Structure formats: C-alpha cells, structure tokens
Structure 1
Amino acid sequence: MSGHGDGANILKQPKAVWAVAFACVIAFMGIGLVDPILPSIAADLDATPTQTELLFTSYLLVTGAMMFFTSWVSSRIGARWTLLIGLALIVVFAAFAGFSGSVETIIGFRAGWGLGNALFISTALATIVGAAAGGSGAAIILYEAALGVGIAIGPLLGGLLGTISWRGPFFGTAALMAIALIAILVMLPGDAKAQRPAPAKLSAPFRALRIPALAVLALVALFYNIGFFVLLAYTPFPLGFDAIGLGLTFCAWGISLAVTSVWVAPILTARMRRTTVIATVLPLLAVDLVLAGVFVSSPAALVAAVIVGGLLLGVMNTVLTESVMEATDLPRGVASSAYSGVRFLGAAVAPPLATVLAYLGSAGLPYFVGALSLALAAGLVLAFRGKLARIDGDVEPPLVEAEAIGLGDAA
C-alpha cells in the first residue's frame, strides 16, 4: 500500500545519499538543541520564558515562510547549490548566536538559522528521494530516520555542552554543520542541467494549496505541529530538570521517534490505510497531552508522556511525509513547499503560546490546548477523508519514478 522498499535497500545507498543524510542529522539537531538550555538562557540573560520560547518561533517562522519559495530557488540553482547555501547560512548564524550577549540578538540569529534550515531541509528530502536505492518509500524512511537521530542527539548534545555554557550548543552545531557542508561538497555530484525541471513559478506553492488533498494535509499538519511543539518546547519549564536531565529526557524522546518512524510506521501503513493511521494516532497523541496536563506537577509522569509522545510522533511524521508525496501529481518541490510552509507556521505559534497560556492559566493548560489542536487535526482527516482518497491508493502516481530521475531538484 505504501510503496516501501525492503530493509536491505535502505542500507545500500550511494555515498551522496549518506552525505545528505548525515547533514540532515545535524540539521535536525538544531530543532531540539536549545531545549536543555532554555532555563539557562532565561537565567543568564535575564529573559522571561516567553522570550526564550521565541528562539523556537523566530527559527520556525522564517523556516515556514521561506518554505514557500524554496522550490523557486532550487529549480533555478539546483539541489546541490541550494543545500550548500543552506548549510553555510546555518554555520554562520549558529556561530553568531553563540557569540550573542542578549536574548533578543539570539532570537534574530535564530531567524537567520531558519532561513538556512528552510533551504537545506526542503531540498534534502528530494535529494535523498532522487538518489536513493529502493524507491521513494525507502528514501522517506531514511530521511525520517535522520530526523529521529538528529532530534535524539540534539537535546543530548545541548545538555552536555550546556553544562559548560549555554553558548556551547551553538558553537557545536556550527562546527558539525561545517563538516556536513564539506561532506556535501565532496560527495554530492553537481546537478546536470539536462535533468533539471522547468523553473518553478513563484506563485506555484500558493496555487498548489487550492488542491483539496494538499490543503487538507497542510491544515492537519499545522494543528499537529502545535501539539508537537507544545510537548517539545514547553515541557522543559514544568519539568524543572538541569541541562543534563533535560538532554537525557529528550534524547529518549528522539530515540522513540526514530524507532517508530523507521520500523513501526511501515508496518502500520502496510496493513492499514494512511488516513486510518493518521486518524488513529492523532487522538492517541491528544490523550497523551491531556495526561501530561493532568499530571504536570509530576516529573516522572511528564517524562513518560514525553517518551510516549515520541513513539506516536514518529509514526505521524513518516505517514504525513509519505501522504504529501502521494497526494498530487505536482512536482515534489511545489507540493513540499506549500505543505511545509503551512505546517512550520503552526510550529512557530506553539512555543510562545504555551508559555503565555501557562502564565494566564495553569501549568497544565498548554497541554490541554495542544490536545485540542490535535483533536481538530483528527477531525479534519475524518471530515475530508474523501478528499484524501489518493493517499490511500495501492499504486504510486506515475510521475513519482519519473520525478526521482531529477536528482532532487525539488523539495
């Protein structure tokens, strides 16, 4: 049903695929990197929790906004140059963030980091899909595995380096991204002009959202990401752990996410329709957040909710990514730009919203609102299941294999 490759194909990949996958791991580390050092930044720079949460918001807001334009960029300069420019921007702005002296300055540099992140992440998926052995299903699993490993290592590295200084994780990311940039430069061949798709129109991602299936999936992802980032970005504050404790907690979360994204999601989509998987997992996530809100004063209960949440989020990430790839006949760059632009905007709203809700209400209120957002996402899937019939099909769209020849010049 889902077109997955076998396990052997996932591991037997060209060097270029492994180079991009390694860079993906480092890029995704940036998502959870600041989690363990949020309390330290708040204390050392005399910042409020809401101000520190804006480290997520500036990063994700710029990432989301730029996602609408990445297909326009990559279709003109090619995947390789888009990846390299994105990595270079992350190196520069991560280093600048480490040298910052105020939370406002870090927020600004995290926005620049988000620009590089948008260029890199949107192009990386298509590069892996285009160059990987084993078909689009195997490539997506490899990409989600990189996401899971990166999200797992990010908080752990952030916690370890954060014990020295809150600046450490930023400098560490800059150094690792520089290594990833060199790996891409050496191992990923240049784009063949004959293989490039026609340059995408600037308006293409916005017009793509008129397609019902893509619009529904984008809205589902928007509400899903609100719940996702309430759990990820807000939880360090009620947990109250030090940098190492937070790093270990979210490392376990990331490992859980990686395991289910690589091994559990393919099993589920081989036996059930994608819409059934999504409509089942979203309510389970909502229940997990409700329990986190009810037992917010218990660190043990919160840690359990974080880890269980990781298991469910891993399934959702893989199935949603696959669904978008199968939803239309549009070039991958256009579909991914439209979808990602909307979903990252939802992620950008959640972190400061959570701390404001906690300030105005109670420590558990952000989790309840996150659960409501997940319930709305599930309701959209059920209400518009007919519009999503294509993602439940047994046969891949005929353009999928043809587009893969383009070596990832789309997102």
Structure 2
Amino acid sequence: MDIPPIHGDQKRVVIVGAGFAGLTLAKKLSPPCFQVILIDRNNYHQFQPLLYQVATSGLEPSSISFPLRKIFQHYKNVFIRIAEVKHIHKTTIETSVGTIEYDFLVLAHGAETNYFKNPSLQHNALSMKSVGDALYLRNTLLQNFEQALIAKSEKERKALLQIIIVGGGPTGVELAGAITEMKNNILPKDYPELDFNQMKVVLIEAFPRLLSGISEQSGKKAQQYLESLGVIVKNNLSVKNYDGNVVELNNGDTMSSRCLVWAAGVKGMPINGLPVSAVLPNSRIRVDSYNRVHEMVNVFALGDVASIQSKESPKGHPQVAPVAIQQARLLARNLKKLVSGEKMTAFQYQDKGSMATVGRNLAVVEIGKLKISGAIAWIIWMLVHLMSIIGVKNKLFILINWLWQYVTYDQSLRLILKPSENNKKSRS
C-alpha cells in the first residue's frame, strides 16, 4: 500500500475503525509526534444512536453520517484508507488494499449483531448496526404495508402488519416507540384502506424488565410509556427460531410476522492474528487497564470491541459511546507518555448518565442519582444527541426535521429505495 513516509521521529499509529473511539483518537494525536493511518470499510462516520430514526423515516442517512475526508481536511498528519483488515502481525497488518507497517496499532472496529449462534435468526432477522441496515429496515416496513393492501388472506395481512422487536435495551425501546408513533399518527393517513387496529408492535425482552443498564424505576417508567402508546411488551421471554414468517418463543408459543428486528445483543468483530488468550467468548478483546491487548506490546483496543475486566466491571464496560470516547482521549495522552518514556495512566470510566427516548415528550434520563422522566427528559435527550452530531449542517438538518415532526406529527422521508434492475444485472 502506498503510504506517506514518516518524518523524523514520528511514530505511525494505525487505527482500525472510524467509530466514536477511532475518530476521537485520530483527532487527539498531534502532528509533531504521530502520523495517523485511519482505516475503515466505509468513507464516513455514522452516528449509531440515531439509526432507528433513519429506519422509521424520521431522518435522512446523510444527516447522521459525515465523510471522513471532510472531518480530517485540516489534519495534515491523518491519512485515510478505505479497506478491511485481514491479519495482524507483530509490526504490520494485512489489509484488502495492501500491507501497512505500524509503531502502534489501535483496534476500534466496533461490534456486530450477536445472534447467539442461531442460524435462523442470522438469516431471517433484521439488524440495526449500520446505515445500510436502517435503510433495509425502512424498506421492509414500507414494503410490508404495500403488500398488506393486496394480501390474499386476513392471516397474511396480520403477519405483514405485526412487527416483532427483540431486545429491551435502548435500541429496542426507541425503535418500538418510533414505529408505534408512526402507526398512531402517520400510517392511517398514508394507507386509509388498512385497518391499523390490526397492526401490532411487540417488544420481547429476555430479562424481567426493560433497560437493564439503568435503574429499575426508569425501566418500569419506559415500559409504562411504551404500553401507553400501544406497544405490547413481553418480558421474561426469548426467541428460539424465526423462519421469516413464524416466530417461535421459548415458552412454546408462536407468532406470525414478516418483520423481526433483532436488537438483543452485540459481540466483538474478530480479527485474525490476535493471541487466542486475548479473544473472549463474545469475541471482545481482553485488554489491560491501559487498553493494551493481552499478550501484545504496542497493540491496543478501544470501545465496543475492548473489554477491561475488573472488580467494578467483571464483564467489561458497557458498549456505549461515552466509554469509547473516554478511552480514546486517555489513550492519546498515554501514547504521548509512552513515546516520552513516562508512566501511562490507567483507565477509569466516568459514568455521566444514561438515557432513552420512547416517543414524543416521553423519555427517561439518569444523571448520577438524579432520575428524570417525561417531557423534560425528552428535551435533555434531544439536546445531548444534537450536540453529539458532527457538523453544523447536520445539526441544523436534524433540528429542522425534529421541529417539523413535532409541529406536524409527520415525517416526509417514507421512501422505498432499492437498486434498479440494471444495477442488479451489472452486479451478477
């Protein structure tokens, strides 16, 4: 691979992944000390917390995505390569576009959907981990409504109108709320021929309550909000099998649905070349308190793929953006210390709170011991997410969309986008 030469005593840091961790680290590594090679399979950074709004026609994909080359236009020491990593060696990595030498390697390539080795779910369920996944879900939802208009039987129509969401974490809760608000406020106007009393949104959670990562009080409040909107919440249940039409539950019951969204967990994305002892059963990478990969010297891992196991977090830190950002900021300082021969600082996560939105004026927010719900929590949720989006233009577009939806109870992005027949032929 053609890579710019290193100048003087510069150290080359290769970062795999342009998520929250990779992006933050690349920005924090200063030019005199480091040359940064940022590798990602996409040429953009995506804001995953708002993927569900793309899936439910609330936002355009471009509103939550930002081109990497635009982000780093003024960073003269950062070089971007669109590639996939094939194998890690002691001082080099093999990628789909060639081999790169490194002084420090940072793995921040994130997580993927965990189907828990269930092939039927992996093949037939829909996921929510990328812009492509969100668009595919949007297409599926809208196409199912179109097919429901011409369904030949009541049984087929009900299956097309029943949406199953598996996983009661923030993604599942927010998606269930957004789809139900579409059902209540928008879809009856788009499809007056359909009886939307037949449409069911079912949220299935294996644990006794929703949002297990926050307090029981907030979890119960979120469930109350969902049920007030019309979501059917089923706790203490799990899905055993799904063939694209029938959902089999662990209690023996079955449900008919042509759309099952799997939001029940994530796992690390494995990379060849790591020591066997460094890869945990859920494919997360075992790292020490400095985010250094187990049994490796100059290789680090950050964010969702990394797991720092301690008494405080025996299963590793939660796979959320604040953890990734804090780890990246600390690693930038630690790499400078490492180069200058100073002692590195161990990572300590500062939990600034948790939040989830259910719908219009409905959200739960926890900041320390403070628990907020309702309209105030919803405003806080919006402000925090709006400020986290990259780019003034994207912030403005999202704010305009949210204001428009609030005033009109409508979304104007209900488009079924699919490749043309010519594109399909050219790919085959």
Instruction: Note whether the superposition's TM-score is higher than 0.5.
Output: no
Per chain length, whose mean CA-contact separation is higher, i.e. which structure has more relative contact order (CA < 8 Å, sep 6+)?
1
TM-score, structure 2 normalization: 0.25
Bigger helix share: 1
**Bigger strand share:** 2
